[in-house]
Chains A and B, each alone.
Chain A
């Protein structure tokens, strides 16, 4: 599957980057049909969470 191949490509990056990329891609996919989706707040939430997990 495309997504798997995509995620595989990112495996060379650190764990936190991988997690952010995976979640943001899913988020963007869900909003792909919108012209100007309002995803920034959700992206910030993702980053918040991943940064805290790291700590």
Chain B
């Protein structure tokens, strides 16, 4: 930041509108403002602070010029305004803060609670653009927490060099070097990471793996069931072959042949009957499902009745269409060939018919629907008859099948009961194999049911897995976010100390450099140390801390060196604005400092009393002074006027 110009209106003892322009010349970078104590230096100093940050003011009510208040009428609004123009990183800014109030009848002023703060960016053609985030922007330019190290009160200048000042030193470094920024960043990132982790707990169910396991299990079971079915099929095959062998044997045996052949005949017949039965059941199903036509009979009858009624009511007979009537009318000839005349009763009747008939499409509908419904009545009847017939055939077939099975049983009994041991044995074996086949079939049937259920399960699980996969991808995203936030927080944590130490060491080196520069004549100081305990110490040639022996002036210089070192290391581009910096320095130190002070900052603004800047000190500074002002306080009006001394 480099100050350009301050404009004050009715600010404290500055009545009216007064302006002061700071020196920007890099060579002559010092602006000197003279004033005796009480002349208005403090107020001017305050104006800068108040304008930029709205801070530093204990009693806002005292800000508005008393002179301005006294001159105002009751009910009139009085305001105080401070405007500051500055540049930063090549951009020009204009900041203004305004506070107004209404004069009361009793002479006091009722202040508005809120002041008005605006920040504009000024382009080089003079156009101004309002800055949307003024506080954020100010924080990026020169945060309020570090301003006290740049805009400071000279009386307090030796604070850092006091023995008990380590806390203040640490605090200063902390703020100027943006360590607070790092700390906050780390803390907030930690919080965010924790929030993500909490949400992760809510979202994640660990379901996916379980679902996949279950699906696999179901598939495996299905595989096994299918395999078992096949195995059973082979067993059935094997049993059949064995039965075929036995059949063959029985055919070869004299006393069994006839029965065996009979059995074979019966079995063939049964097979055929069973096949017929299956077909019949299929046929019955077809008829039964179509038989809603039968069920619909009452509806069909009623609908036909209504449709017919419409037709019979003297409206168009069923087959005659509108177009036909139209033709008749045009030809003026009746359907029987007899001509009629315009406006005759016949003509009128035809016209009436045409107008009273249905709109074309409805008429078609009526005709088509009637036509379609009529055959359905018969169809319903036919279906019923067909069904009855089929059911009777079924009954017959079932009876026939039962009869055949009884015959079969008979054959079996005879063979089993044969006096010939071999026949009996073979037949028993055959029946065992047959029983086995039935068991196998039963088991197959159960497996089929199980497989169907498993298929359903697999399909259902498949759906759930899809859902869980979606949830998991949400989980993964949250995990990545949590990880990133945490890693960032950890990185800051790791780097914090490294950074802090590095900065401390650089400040130490820079402080030493500046200190030497400012008190360059003195050689009895060996070193400056700024340890991890943040004690700022001067080391004498014996290697011992020399601070107790420092004079007040030397302490001030040390503090000043420290401050400017901080400014340099932090790279903050900020003006050094000092109020009575030389007040307590010895003339020796004053002279020394004035020689080197201008080099310490890009821009220097010094508020001085006349005593402070005289003689050699003045001469030292002279070449670097780019602007000079005097604050003249008029005791009569209690107002200060800014007088320019040199430009």
Contacts and interface: CB of A to CB of B under 8 A. Distances in A.
B191 interface: yes
Interface residues of A, number: 34
A13 B182 CA distance: 16
A37 to B, nearest CB: 8
Interface in A1-19: 1-3, 5-6, 9-10, 13-14, 16-17
Interface string A20-55: 110011111111111001011001100110110010
Nearest to B573: A1
Interface stretch (B281-289, B476-484, B519-527): B476-484
Nearest to A9: B495
Nearest to B137: A30
B480 A30 contact: no
Interface string B479-518: 0110011011001100100110010000000000000000
Given A9-B495, A32-B143, A33-B138, A2 B488 contact: no
Interface in B95-140: 133, 135-140
A47 B481 contact: yes
Contact of A29 (B178, B195, B477, B491): B178
Contacts of B180: 32
A17 to B, nearest CB: 5
A6 B53 CA distance: 27
Contacts, number: 99
A34 B192 CA distance: 19
B172 interface: no
B156 interface: no
Given A2-B178, A10-B491, A17-B488, A33 B135 contact: yes
B140 A17 contact: no
B570 interface: yes
B143 A33 contact: yes
A20 B495 contact: no
B185 interface: yes
Interface of B: 53, 133, 135-140, 143-145, 177-178, 180-182, 184-185, 188-189, 191-192, 195, 477, 480-481, 484-485, 487-488, 491-492, 495, 498-499, 502, 569-572
Interface of A: 1-3, 5-6, 9-10, 13-14, 16-17, 20-21, 24-34, 37, 39-40, 43-44, 47-48, 50-51, 54
